[in-house]
Every structure is written in structure tokens, then in C-alpha cells.
Amino acid sequence: MLDLLDVLLEVKLSSIADALLQKNSLMIYGRSGAGKSLLMNKISTYLAEKGEKVLYIFNHPSAISNISVSTERIVLLSMNSSVLAKTLILAGNAIRKGFRLVVVDEISWDFLYSLAEMRDILLWVSLLSNLAKSFSKTLVLVSDEEQASLKLASRYVDSVIRVDRSGNMISLEWNTGTKLLFKLF
């Protein structure tokens, strides 16, 4: 039997998941420890338990701990521009194969040392955004807060969401000005 807390948690997750799934491509960013991976883990698990196909690709230690067994996942042990490009190709294949949500956690922009590497990754982000749109799927790219790179990448996604955490509260702020504040799960 579900208690009231479980029901409220499910309502919150469903509302947040619905808001994210309305977009085809999102960049979620925030400082380390803000709750980005926790949020995407919970949403991925929630959707997978509801029968949606979800792929979670992660190269971030905090993303590994809470991921559901019902969520397909890939663990990357190192990340450089070559691995990131292959990861984005893999994400594109998952979108074409019908995955409703594909999460890449996390894209670290600081190892892209040259303009050519940055250009190539931004091209992939643009192509994946268009692919997600044409297949009516959702791609979520998770990143730390690095302003210059985020400004470039934000041009290629539908929406940018800043995640912040204060105590047991998480806030989401969309680039459209929409804000959502809720208790940590």
C-alpha cells in the first residue's frame, strides 16, 4: 500500500518528467553537487518503471549509484573528445531505435582544447537535437556550470535548465524564466 509520501513523490516526478519530455533536447547544468545526476536518475527510473525505454549514458560517479535496473545504461570509464563523439553517436542510435529518453551525463566541456573539437561536438549536439525532434524523443545533456561553453551549446538545444541546491531543496530554472522548487527526493 502506498503511503501519502510515495504518492506525493510520484506526482512530483511525473510533473517534472512531463515538463522535460515536452522538449526534444535539453541541457541541464549546475555546479557540482547541485543534484543534476540525482534528478535525472530519479526521472529515468520513474519513466522506465512506467514502461518507457530509457538509456542513461554516464561518466560521472554520482550518476552510477541510484540508477534503476529497469533503465538501460552504459558506463564510460574515461571521457575525451573522441569518446564524447562516440557517445553522441550512440545517443543518436538510441533515439532512432525508439528510446523515449536518452541522458548523457555528463558532458565535460573543459577537455575540449581546440576550436575544432568544440565545433565537432557542437555539430553533434545540433544533429542530435534535430534527430530527437524528428523522432519525437527527448535528449538530455548534463553538464557542469561552464558559462562560455554553455552559451554556445544552448543555441543547439530546445531548452536549458539550471539546477541548484540549497539544503534539501532543489530548484530548476529554465532559460524561459520558468522556475520550480521542490524538496530533495
Q: Output the pLDDT for position 120.
A: 80
Catalogue all structural domains in the chain, each as residue range(s) with its CATH number.
Answer: 24-183 (3.40.50.300)
pLDDT band at 154 (very low <50, low <70, confident <90, very high): confident
pLDDT at 112: 62
Question: What is the arrangement of strands in the sheet containing 25-30, beginning at the earlier edge strand?
Answer: 72-75, 54-58, 101-107, 138-144, 25-30, 159-166, 169-174, 179-183
Terminal C-alpha separation, the chain:
19
The segment with the largest mean pLDDT, out of 61-75, 85-99, 128-142, 145-159, is: 128-142
Question: Quick one: pLDDT at residue 25?
Answer: 94
Q: pLDDT at position 72, please?
A: 64
Q: Compute the average pLDDT of residues 143-166.
A: 82
Pairing type for strands 169-174 and 25-30 reads unpaired
Higher local confidence (pLDDT), 57 or 84: 57
Confidence at residue 123, expressed as pLDDT on a 0 to 100 scale: 85
Q: What is the pLDDT of residue 3?
A: 45
Nearest residue to 43 (alpha-carbon basis) of 14, 84, 70: 14
Mean pLDDT for the stretch of residues 36-62: 85
The yes-or-no verdict on residue 133 having pLDDT over 90 is yes
CB 117 within 8 A of CB 81: yes
pLDDT at residue 64 above 60?
Answer: no
Which DSSP string corresponds to 40-108?
HHHHHHHHHHTT--EEEEE--HHHHTT--TTSEEEE-S---HHHHHHHHHHHHHHHHTT-SEEEEEEE-
Q: Read off the C-alpha cell for 44.
A: 529515468
C-alpha torsion sign, points 148, 107, 88, 81: positive
124 or 110, which is more confident?
124
